[in-house]
Amino acid sequence: MAQVLEFKLPDLGEGLTEAEIVRWLVSVGDVVAVDQPVVEVETAKAMVEVPCPYGGVVTARYGEEGTELPVGAPLLTVAVGASDPADVSDTAPAPATAATPRAAAPAPAAAPAPGPTPARASASASASASASDETSGNVLVGYGTGAPAARRRRVRRAPLSASPAAPALVREPVNGAAGPVPVVSPLVRRLAREHGVDLRGLTGTGRDGLILRCDVEQAIHRGATQTPSAVSAPAPATAPAPVMAPTASPSPAPAPAAASPSARPGVTRVPLRGVRGAVADKLTRSRREIPDATCWVDADATELLAARRAMNAAGGAKISLLAVFARICTAALARHPELNSTVDLAAREIVRLPEVHLGFAAQTDRGLVVPVVRDAQARSAESLSAEFARLTEAGRSGTLTPGELTGGTFTLNNYGVFGVDGSTPIINHPEAAMLGIGRIVPKPWVHEGELAVRQVVQLSLTFDHRVCDGGTAGGFLRYVADCVEQPAVLLRTL
């Protein structure tokens, strides 16, 4: 007889606590193989195809496309031991083909009888033990059929109940009161704090009362819609009714003026989540914490372009212009290691890093991403070109892994591809500096004492003023400009 096992959204690593369902790859009634991808989700880091560790027939899916689920929430159920949908007609949950959008718990969680959840948990446990031949035993970032669920990093876990299916929570005292508040993630906690929502006054719609982002957003919306109506609301019982009537009647119009901006026609609300939300959080933190400054210089890139053409004409793999700038950048960081560092606020220390993990800004259909080239200081121009091309293609296809988007120590930003000359970018926290490259365009330039048309580029360096002063930043940028104008300068440092 087929036994139904529940597959939950696994821990996807890098401290991620939630993911959005982008596309279901299977439907209810489909037969899935062990480790077959069943859903495509988007996290704050990347798009991920999630494989199911069970083989059998899909009996239920939880969550429509666009639904955001916390780690540990049910994704789907699989009848293990069945090879045909007809074999699981008696074991499949009746109407649970999809959960309500943004709800992290399936329909049985709202049933009045408390029995089904422990029963299903025990059945899943026994089925997992008896159907080991139908599962892979593989582990994907802390989950698998042969290992218990892993703990999420950077988040303190505390079970809401004795149920093994209870998701993780963060305990936080609110308004000075003691006791745990079941919140699904720090992002939800911060959202509540920024909008003045008391978490203790909310009833979570997640499993075992877990407070989800949608609960906080609904509370914010209720507060926005109730504010204007409070002006014209009847007075409380303690105030005499005849006094309030003549006072409120002359001014019936304030309510429309105070209406929420989203109520106006044509207003569109775009959720800050996924990659866009991660970018917003990181840039906000950078602007809040880092006292940045920017210096810039124009450089004659005519000789650099000629040197690159000569290298590519010699045969072999083609070398990109970005790779040439990256090679110059790593040489400059070797001379000015202060800029390849980070600031430890807790210890009040500047931490200088020995390796250069070079991030580069890449615009994709999903927004701005910053893939990271590991150990860029040890790579040749050809190796850098190949890695830039690989990571750029992965960014456009949405297949970058979280590890390829984190750990950078310095960022190279080629905003010249947008047709602009200069910029004052925001530093990619927790790094200490970013080199910007503008477009290379022909301009009048004094060359060897005469006016000539040369290929000119504007270079800018945005740096954390805590790690160095203007002298160091200026020295770094001047060295980069010297290498651009006279590539032989770079050869002397190799």
- Give domain status of residue 56, yes or no: yes
- Give domain status of residue 258, yes or no: no
- Residue with the bigger pLDDT between 374 and 169: it is 374
Same domain assignment for residues 242 and 279: no
CB 429 within 8 A of CB 375: no
Opening angle at CA 326, ends 308 and 351, nearest 5? 160
> Of the ranges 61-70, 243-252, 382-391, which is most confident?
382-391
Closest C-alpha to 457, from 445, 475, 470, 474:
445
Closest C-alpha to 153, from 162, 161, 142:
142
- Domain-terminating residue out of 183, 216, 251: 251
Q: For residues 477 and 437, what is the distance between their CA atoms, to the nearest angstrom?
A: 11
Give the mean pLDDT of the chain. 76
Same domain assignment for residues 98 and 59: yes
Q: For residues 484 and 456, what is the distance between their CA atoms, to the nearest angstrom?
A: 10
> In Å, how far are 59, 162, 338, 426 from 166, measured between CA atoms?
21, 8, 46, 40
Percent residues over pLDDT 70 in the chain: 68
- Give domain status of residue 420, yes or no: yes
> In Å, how far are 330, 331, 345, 351, 425 from 357, measured between CA atoms?
10, 13, 21, 15, 19
CATH code, domain carrying 346: 3.30.559.10
Same domain assignment for residues 114 and 38: yes
Query: pLDDT for 471-492, tens place per residue?
Result: 999 999 999 999 999 998 887 6
Residue 319 pLDDT exceeds 60: yes
Which range has the worst mean pLDDT, 115-124, 274-283, 312-321, 356-365? 115-124
Same domain assignment for residues 228 and 180: yes
Q: For residues 441 and 155, what is the distance between their CA atoms, to the nearest angstrom?
A: 49
CATH code, domain carrying 213: 4.10.320.10
**pLDDT confidence bin for 183, thresholds 50/70/90:** low
Closest C-alpha to 438, from 484, 373, 399, 483:
484
Same domain assignment for residues 129 and 218: no
**pLDDT confidence bin for 237, thresholds 50/70/90:** very low
- The residues that bridge with 368 in the sheet, in sequence order, are 363
465 is catalytic: yes
Q: What is the reported pLDDT for 447?
A: 94
Same domain assignment for residues 345 and 398: yes
CB 331 within 8 A of CB 493: yes
Read off the pLDDT of each residue in 10-24 and give the average, rounded to a whole number: 79
Query: pLDDT for 389-418, tens place per residue?
Result: 999 999 888 888 888 989 999 999 998 888
**pLDDT confidence bin for 180, thresholds 50/70/90:** low
pTM, whole model, 2 decimals? 0.55
Query: pLDDT for 280-293, tens place per residue?
Result: 888 899 999 999 99
Opening angle at CA 410, ends 19 and 401, nearest 5? 30
The number of folded domains in the chain is: 3
Residue 155 pLDDT exceeds 50: no
Which range has the worst mean pLDDT, 273-277, 288-292, 408-412, 453-457? 273-277
Query: pLDDT for 421-451, tens place per residue?
Result: 988 889 999 999 999 999 999 999 999 999 9
Residue 100 CA from chain centroid, whole number: 24
Type of residue at 439:
R
Residue 343 pLDDT exceeds 90: yes
CB 412 within 8 A of CB 359: yes
- Give domain status of residue 141, yes or no: no
Which range has the worst mean pLDDT, 35-39, 168-172, 242-246, 444-448? 168-172
- Give domain status of residue 150, yes or no: no
Contacts of 52 (CB under 8 A, 6+ apart): 7, 32, 34, 35, 36, 37, 38, 76, 78
Read off the pLDDT of each residue in 349-377 and give the average, rounded to a whole number: 91
Same domain assignment for residues 214 and 290: no
Q: What is the reported pLDDT for 83?
A: 60
Same domain assignment for residues 245 and 280: no
Q: For residues 338 and 483, what is the distance between their CA atoms, to the nearest angstrom?
A: 20
Q: For residues 231 and 401, what is the distance between their CA atoms, to the nearest angstrom?
A: 51
Same domain assignment for residues 439 and 342: yes
CB 101 within 8 A of CB 67: yes
- Give domain status of residue 262, yes or no: no
- Give domain status of residue 161, yes or no: no
- Domain-terminating residue out of 77, 109, 134: 134
CATH code, domain carrying 60: 2.40.50.100
**pLDDT confidence bin for 47, thresholds 50/70/90:** confident
Same domain assignment for residues 77 and 181: no
Q: What is the reported pLDDT for 189?
A: 76
Give me the sign of the Cα torsion angle 212, 217, 223, 229. negative
- Domain-terminating residue out of 217, 251, 285: 251
Same domain assignment for residues 284 and 404: yes
Q: For residues 326 and 487, what is the distance between their CA atoms, to the nearest angstrom?
A: 13
Type of residue at 343:
V
Name the residue with tokens 């200088």: 352
- Give domain status of residue 157, yes or no: no
CB 401 within 8 A of CB 381: no
Same domain assignment for residues 243 and 316: no
**pLDDT confidence bin for 274, thresholds 50/70/90:** confident
Domain that holds residue 177: 169-251
Residue 72 pLDDT exceeds 50: yes
